[in-house]
Amino acid sequence: MRTLLLLTLVIGLAACGFQLRGDARLPAVMEQTWLVSPDDSSAFVRELSLVLRANGVDLRSTPADGAAELRIHAERLRSEALTIAAGARVREFILIFDVEFELLDGDGEVLIPRETLRLTRDYSFDEQEILAATREEEFLRNDLRQSMAARMLRRLESI
């Protein structure tokens, strides 16, 4: 019975076209890439570097002949009040993460003009549970960085 159920599930997934994402199909020009950022030690740049390397990109620490150039112009992660309850107390916050970037090929031609990607997450804030709210915000900030790196990878795939 268990085998029949598993077989039905596998056939159903195969029939609907589901497949694991696997490696990204980045353009050949990105085989060697120089990642330029105002802050090379930021958590987002580290996450993006890991994702690029995991997808076969040879990241260069300096410009190289024929290497693409991925420029991170700015990254901004900020928090704003989303809802305010009685007594002017904030009940929900929204985290907004913007990354401004562009991609140039080895000859300096623009492949992706300067553009901004934005992700948001909201969370509840309870003054009685300040430690839990702080941990949730920290978790969401990490999630935003990872999601942004994945989103940027998909954007790079699109060229």
Say what the pTM is: 0.81
- Condensed to tens digits (0 to 9), the pLDDT of residues 100-156 reads 999 999 999 999 999 999 999 998 887 778 888 889 999 999 999 999 999 999 999
The structural domain count of the chain equals 1
CATH number of the structural domain spanning residue 148: 3.30.160.150
**Residues 116 and 96: beta-carbon distance below 8 Å:** no
* Average pLDDT estimate for 28-34: 95
For residue 19, which phi and psi values (nearest 5 degrees)? -150, 150
For residue 23, which phi and psi values (nearest 5 degrees)? -70, 150
Residue whose token pair is 């809802």: 83
Find the domain containing 35 and state its range: 2-157
